[in-house]
Amino acid sequence: MDYEAYFASELDGVREEGRYRVFTDIKRHRGKFPHATRFVDDETQAVTVWCSNDYLGMGQHPKVIEAMHNCLDECGAGAGGTRNISGTNHYHVELEAELADLHGKESALLFTSGYVSNWAGLGTLAAKIPGCVVFSDALNHASMIEGIRHSRAPYKIWKHNDPEDLDRMLSEFGPDVPKLVAFESVYSMDGDIAPIAEILDVCEKHGAMSYIDEVHAVGLYGPHGGGIAEREGLMDRITVIEGTLGKAFGVMGGYIAASANLVDFVRSFASGFIFSTALPPAVAAGAAASIRHLKMSNEEREAQQDRVRQVRRQLDIMGIPHLDNPSHIIPVMVGDAHKCKRISDWLMDNHGIYVQPINYPTVPVGTERLRLTPSPVHGDGDIDALITALSEIWSQCELARMATAA
């Protein structure tokens, strides 16, 4: 086989479908985020990032930076091993205690990313519990889907955010069949929020375990940043809460929080946990500092919600269509892959505004969008520049506007 020709032809296919990914090369500047420098064709350009998942700017918070510096100087660069073979650093142990406390659970377990925590957590539970059937929300993240598939357990996909459909599916299985229901709280592309209480009612009715991905909610919702389940007083009814340290907490890593036995079970059987080097201690120290800060401070959460409201209001005034949802994610709808890419390029090249286009297969064809994520570090000037530029390109491309709220 001509391997090189095969790779090249597959890539051509992706290009023809308009799905080829070109990474934007930037340097984020501590203390100046969302402002960054873009590197393009041997030149640099000042840009404002509008599509980051560093939702609260915690990636540059002085407490986080200081904790990481101190730990790096104290412990060195890497963990030096898997958790079982010399890699468990005291900072990992402290962080796991912090996470268990954040979610009101007995125990928590760290992974190298949120992706790995879903893949290994769901994969291990579904594979190891004899006869387990998994019930997965139709819009679950790739990391959950891969974990479920990898487990080889039978699975059913229920209609997105539809507890009645879930109830119907669970009813097909007797009380003796072990059941695992997997869903998210805030869905990252539409920004909609699951009816968690209703889903838990259905899980409890059928004796099913519940597994929630709160990746886009931890740090952001609830009085201590425990997520939507904390805000709604539901954490104790959920079997497993999964989260990331890489989005609102601004660092890197993933975790699950659950009962001591469940966490010990995953710790003891999950290949993706056991056979992988532990996170660098400085990463654990930075994440712990971020969590501790956000447990005590509502300032960042309130400022973020204020910025989100501000951007929505201005989009409404200009009649620029965006999905209405109860979260911090603002999907500006374009509805055409090529236009979406063109608008994104134009915003970058002419205004230094960085918003990645979101196209198929991340979202369905016809719902292509720009996903805006306002944060406390976006100033009024940044918002004005964004709205003015969007309005200009909306006219240029003759895109439809909504009835204005003005």
Ligand X SMILES: *Cc1c(COP(=O)(O)O)cnc(C)c1O
* Chain contacts with ligand X (rule: CB under 6 A): 113-115, 118, 141, 143, 184, 188, 213, 215-216, 244, 246, 254
Work out how close the CB of 117 gets to ligand X at its nearest, in angstroms, rounded to a whole number: 8
Cα-atom radius of gyration of the chain, to the nearest Å?
22
Q: What distance in Å separates the CA atoms of residue 227 and residue 214, rounded to the nearest whole number?
A: 6
> Is the separation of the CB atoms in 123 and 151 below 8 Å?
yes
> What is the residue type of 404?
T
Phi-psi region of 369 (alpha: psi -120 to 50; beta: other; left: phi over 0): beta
> What is the residue type of 216?
H
Which residue's CB is nearer to ligand X, number 253 or number 352?
253
Which residue's CB is nearer to ligand X, number 117 or number 367?
117
Work out how close the CB of 73 gets to ligand X at its nearest, in angstroms, rounded to a whole number: 26
Which residue's CB is nearer to ligand X, number 370 or number 383?
370
Beta pairing partners, 48: 35, 353
Q: What distance in Å separates the CA atoms of residue 6 and residue 20, rounded to the nearest whole number?
A: 16
Catalytic residue ranges: 247
Work out how close the CB of 64 gets to ligand X at its nearest, in angstroms, rounded to a whole number: 16
DSSP per residue over 35-65, as a string? EEEEEETTEEEEEEE-S-S-TTSGGG-HHHH
Cα–Cα–Cα angle for 29, 34, 39, nearest 5°? Answer: 60
Which residue's CB is nearer to ligand X, number 98 or number 213?
213
Which residue's CB is nearer to ligand X, number 215 or number 348?
215
Work out how close the CB of 111 gets to ligand X at its nearest, in angstroms, rounded to a whole number: 8
Work out how close the CB of 393 gets to ligand X at its nearest, in angstroms, rounded to a whole number: 27
Q: How far is CA 47 from the centre of its chain?
A: 23
Closest CA to 291 of 263, 326, 253: 253
- CB-based closest residue to ligand X: 114
